[in-house]
Amino acid sequence: MRRVFGFFQAYFNGFFDLMKDDFGTNEINHNNFNNAINWVGNKTILETEIEELEEEKEEEGEEGSPNENVFLYSNCDAYAGEFQMSKRNGWGVYLKYTGQKFEGLWKDNVRNGFGMQTIGNSIKFVGQFKNNECDGQGIIFHQSGLMYSSNWSKGELVNRKLLFENWKDELLELFPENSKEEVNEKSAQVTSNNIVDESNGILRKKIKDELENLQNKSNFRPYNLEEKSEVTAKSVNNVNFTENIIGEGRIQTISSKINNYNAIKTLSNEIESKTLSFYNTDNSAECCLSWNMYQVAYFIKCIGLSKYVKNFILNEIDGCTLPYIGFEELKEMGITEITHIKYIRMSLSLLLKLRLKCIRKQTFTPQKLIDDEYLKSFEIPANELNLKCRIGEGGYGKVYKAIWTTRGITVAVKAFRRRDKHALAREFYSELSIISRIRHPNVTLFLGVVMSPLYCLVTELVPNGSLFDLLHTKNSYLTSTQLLKISRDICCGMAYLHENGVLHCDLKSSNILLSGNFNVKIGDFGLSTLMESPLETRKMLGCIGTHHWMAPEILRGEGFTKYADVYSFGIILWEMITKKIPHEDLNINHIVASVGYGHKELIIPENIPSTIKTVIKKTWSRNVRNRPNFKQLTNIFDQLYQSSILDIEENLLAFFGQ
């Protein structure tokens, strides 16, 4: 193989030169490139230059990319963040083995300042903490999309109401009326941040007038007191914190618990007992993109940052601009404190994720499945399938080998578990909407659906199992030619998916199926999503997929992009080379902390081709924009595979003396 990789040194020189803007390489004299690709040699010229430039770019970095202090505890808890004087001090993330999470400010090992607390899957609280307890303002986010503004005192809930109940009066209270003399003074001035600063009295009058105009034009739907739920009408003063929405335990040591009290279910049950239409829709995250700038400013007030309400109003930040508010934009608005920027971005990210969840919940319903004419064209009667044996199982349900009797072919039947019909329909339709529209040699072929008595997807049966089974169960070794072919096929299939607007979101070796002659079939699109609009190019649903193959930004709960699939491919490539399960010694919390926040990387063997090593490193780049795309990777592995085939043929000819 030394000669083979040397044979294509000129190709890679030219290729990386062409891709220099994407890969960060400089032009290299072709005549001095003799050692650019070497099977086991020292670090190459190309690799050295790429690494040096990568290091410079990582130092520039994207916000949130620097390594965090990471502490992994024996009880499966984890902490990633600032650590001073042997204690948690500053911004950090604490992950409990129970699935609970706190992200925010710490002081001497206790929560103190702004932060977000998650309890289970239904409730998140964003607000102020003091001495490890809620203290001050905050917003309660429910999985249904509803949001409540709340006030706390030493861990006790003082009051709670739907977010936009009586919100205008509260907003105006931030801008007290000025005296006549002050009103007659200069009404505006330009600050150092180029933001027009107006006196509170003048700004109050402008806000009041505009809110009245909005209401008169019916652009804003005021909260209807008749729609107010019986629950929110009840007195909630002085209710103990541990008996209400977010049960909290005291964290006194590094390994102490964040308790999950059963009482947290109270609010969830109250909300879920009524339809969402019972509440005014302005209180739902689903409508956040249609908020006016005053509603956005009020949201900022409710998370405890009243000091920045004027910044948001004067910059006219309304709902449709929320997806584009980043680090630099907040700085330009005059918000310079880093922890406040992190807190605002975290709060807005949670709001946008919740919005997408609400939209998807309403998109997929059992009735839509029944009425979908396109889907009916793929329907297969259950009596035409003869189940033989179970060949797989997962959280979604079970996979069976079956005979499609009317066609006389062997197929795979993926049966979804019986559970909540709305959730089941949503999950089933989500995967169906992806798999039914794609046709490619390296993607499992969709054949049809079964609608009754169970929801089932019918696909081609890929006989030789998964790449994971081959590497870790059958204990087989891949030749270099087989490895290159599998890599090329994965990249080719993924390039097709991305070109057609499909993100896989769960690319791993167990979803890479192998047919005869190691032909790849990419399968399991249960977590996949479509990129249909600029706002949908990120799947902002939090941490999805299988953690061992997941990109750091996804482990942190950021939006899913095509670059996350590229990272996962790099993990699969490492897995094929080493025959090891990635991060096998870590539990989920430890993976999230060490990889997601600490940027822990797997150790790449030294005795592999420098080109392969370079590809792996590029797919794992912290700056996601520096990762190659699958079209580029397909070109690389296709050339390597073709050269490997040529080498085998020439060796055979030499062996037979021809």
Show binding-site residues for ATP: 414
| 305 neighbors 344 (Cβ within 8 angstroms) | yes
Which tokens in the block code for residue 195?
């933001």
d(CA 558, CA 116): 15
Q: Is the dihedral of CA 74, 75, 79, 85 positive or negative?
A: negative
- Percent of residues in the chain assigned helix, strand, coil, to nearest 5: 45, 20, 35
Residue with tokens 């230059």, as numbered in its chain: 49
The DSSP secondary-structure symbol of 241 reads G
Tally: H helices and E strands in the chain:
23, 20
| 103 neighbors 95 (Cβ within 8 angstroms) | no
Distances (CA, A) of 558 to 260, 345, 553, 568: 25, 11, 5, 15
β-bridge partners, 443? 522
Query: 176 in helix, strand or coil?
Result: coil
Which tokens in the block code for residue 179?
């005296």
Label the pairing between strands 446-450 and 456-460. Answer: antiparallel
For 461-509, the DSSP string reads: --TT-BHHIIIIIS-----HHHHHHHHHHHHHHHHHHHHTTEE-S---G
Which tokens in the block code for residue 244?
């209400």
Which tokens in the block code for residue 645?
């085939």
d(CA 222, CA 445): 51
Task: Enumerate the known binding-site residues.
Answer: 414
Residue with tokens 């959730």, as numbered in its chain: 423
Which tokens in the block code for residue 430?
């989500």
d(CA 595, CA 593): 6
| 601 neighbors 620 (Cβ within 8 angstroms) | yes
- What's the start-to-end Cα distance of the chain, in Å? 20
Backbone angles phi, psi at 465, to 5 degrees: 80, -165
In single-letter form, the type of residue at position 447 comes to L
d(CA 568, CA 560): 12
